[in-house]
Amino acid sequence: FVINSSQSTPIHDIYAYPPSAITHPNPLIRNLQRILWFFRTQWFIFALILIVFLAWLKPSIGSRSTTVSHGFLDPDIAIRIVVSIVFFLSGFFTPNFKSLSASFFLWRAHLLIQTYTFVIIPLFTYLLFKILESVPLFAVLNSPPFFSDHFKNSLLILSSLPTSTSSCILHTSTTGGNTTLALFNSTLSNLLSLILTP
């Protein structure tokens, strides 16, 4: 396996390189390397699809506790455990207090993120519904069973809600982003949503 150098690279290191760096002379091996790289970098999306499929296949696994029976992934318990693990790991892997304090003073990033969460996304959703109301082409979509008033109001409220802290940290760390900044802003936006979300 040759990846832009004269030295050979073992198979377990192949995924670490972007497709542009894969230059193996054999097209079959080169395409296999690109596929492996794609699956390695996009593993979280495939894991989500797999979980949704398993939930559809066997929904009783995640059923809530009742007097009769419950699944071993009871949401009331599993959510607390998963969120606790995410918070623990995000705190454990936060480099030090210096990085936390440095993220605290990135006021331009905070302003951009909060504006995007509480202004741009709700405004975009509102304008989308206005376009659906005014354009005759979309008139059929602007009435039940497609878009009832309750459904539109629900989407407007949903668009003004911030992301959950656990998913925000998870997605940020998966993409190699600044998890300290994500932790600060997800916490801040969840606190602000108590006032700003209708």
Tokens of 147: 């878009």
From the list 190, 183, 136, the residue with the least C-alpha distance to 162 is 190
Rounded-to-10 torsion of CA 178, 174, 191, 82: -140
8 A C-beta contact, residue 33 and residue 14:
yes
CA distances from 70 to 2, 29, 151 (A): 52, 47, 31
How confident is the model over 5-17, as pLDDT tens digits? 344 344 344 444 5
> In this predicted structure, what is the pLDDT of residue 122?
92
How confident is the model over 154-170, as pLDDT tens digits? 888 889 888 887 778 77
How confident is the model over 86-127, as pLDDT tens digits? 777 766 666 566 767 777 788 899 999 999 999 999 999 989
